[in-house]
Amino acid sequence: MGAYVKTAMLMAAMTALFMGVGWLIGGSGGAVIALVVAGLMNLFTWWNSDRAVLRMHNARPVTEAEAPAYVGMVREMCARNGMPMPACYIIDTDQPNAFATGRNPQNAAVAATTGLLRRLSPEELAGVMAHELAHIRNHDTLIMTITATFAGAISMLANFALFFGGSRERMGLVGTLALMILAPLAAALVQMAISRAREYEADRVGAEICGQPLWLAAALEKIQGFAARIDNPAAERNPATAHMFIINPLHAHAHDKLFSTHPNTANRVAALVEMAGGRTAGRAPAPAASSIPRTRRAARRGPWG
């Protein structure tokens, strides 16, 4: 219930920000129009935002027959932790990364890139998917998707301000330009405040789900290294969704570096190493015989099974 209360508060805050931008652009009429649009967006976000985000990144659904190592691993961790099985998607991009989405655990999805499936070991992949399952268990997915949807809409609306005569008359050219900069900035600050704390918590819960904090620690270090030099074109076109990924996918454009929606990777790794009793993240112990058997069998045939 607490998660739904937080979601309602977030939707109210983002709606108020959206209305404020509408008022600055079009006065009271603009605020009313923005309120109507925000109401429709809230409904759309609640029911369809997961599919919208998956489409933004050209994610395609896969079955266990198509990707047995990946889907089987997710299925087993869900079964061990009493969670509903989410839909599994694959994103065809070389940058290793992953995210989760959905309005609740019963209507959730996880998405992994082909780069993630190719470049990570089975243990590291288990750590990443456990992190995404933690977001689903914590009801983070709806909140993260709402912020992505509203941040994108606020940025788009602010960029239109220059073309509305009412905003130029009300605020002047300088004020209109300031609105175009500050409104997306405010939305980005909301994303930052939400995302950073939730990433630490998802790391902690994810380590508990897979049972090995060092698997996730090693995965974070590896993903950070690859993501810093491999582009993710879909994420660059939709920067408002960056906070949904396990590691920030943006680096190709300078403006992406102004604000970070993710905690420092080294700090996340240090917290996971501390959970593991101080052992080095790069020296994760071998998994128990009963741990992720599907993944270990599939590892001999490659990450696609």
Cα–Cα distance measured from residue 216 to residue 197, given in angstroms and rounded to the nearest whole number: 17
Residue from 95, 71, 118 nearest 302 by CA: 118
pLDDT of residue 152: 66
Task: Read off φ and ψ for residue 188, nearest 5 degrees.
Answer: -65, -35
The full DSSP string for 97-133 is -EEEEEEETTEEEEEEEHHHHHHS-HHHHHHHHHHHH
pLDDT of residue 10: 65
Q: How many residues does the chain have?
A: 305
Residue from 161, 158, 164 nearest 182 by CA: 158
The pLDDT profile of the chain, 305 residues, written as one tens digit per residue, is 555 566 666 667 667 776 776 666 666 776 677 777 777 766 776 677 788 889 999 999 999 999 999 999 999 999 999 999 999 999 999 999 999 998 889 999 999 999 999 999 999 999 999 999 999 998 887 777 677 667 666 766 666 665 555 554 555 566 666 666 666 666 666 666 666 778 898 999 999 999 999 999 999 999 999 999 999 999 998 887 888 899 999 875 544 444 566 888 999 999 999 998 865 544 444 333 333 333 333 333 333 33
**Residue where the block lists tokens 């940058």:** 95
pLDDT of residue 98: 97
305 in a domain, yes or no? no
| Those residues with Cβ within 8 angstroms of residue 290's Cβ, 6 or more apart along the chain or in another chain | none
Residues identified as active-site: 132
304 in a domain, yes or no? no
Task: Read off φ and ψ for residue 282, nearest 5 degrees.
Answer: -75, -5
78 in a domain, yes or no? yes
The angle that helices 122-137 and 140-160 make with each other, rounded to 10 degrees, is: 80
DSSP structure class, residue 60: E
Give buried/exposed letters for 200-217 (b at 16+ CB in 10 A, else e): eebbbbbbebbbbbbbbb
pLDDT of residue 53: 86
**Residue where the block lists tokens 């993630």:** 116
Q: Residue 112 in contact with residue 90, Cβ under 8 Å? A: yes
34 in a domain, yes or no? yes
pLDDT of residue 270: 94
Cα–Cα distance measured from residue 282 to residue 32, given in angstroms and rounded to the nearest whole number: 55
Residue from 160, 162, 155 nearest 177 by CA: 162
207 in a domain, yes or no? yes
Cα–Cα distance measured from residue 101 to residue 143, given in angstroms and rounded to the nearest whole number: 9
123 in a domain, yes or no? yes
Q: Which domain holds residue 61?
A: 2-299
Q: Residue 100 in contact with residue 109, Cβ under 8 Å? A: yes
pTM equals: 0.72
Based on the number of CB atoms within 10 Å of its own CB, is 267 exposed (0-12), middle (13-18) or buried (19 or more)? exposed
The number of angstroms, rounded, from the C-alpha of 33 to the middle of its chain's C-alpha atoms is 29
pLDDT of residue 95: 96
pLDDT of residue 291: 39
pLDDT of residue 139: 85
Count of structural domains within the chain = 1
Rounded (10°) CA dihedral 82, 84, 85, 89: -130
Identify the bridge partners of residue 102 per DSSP, sorted by sequence position: 108
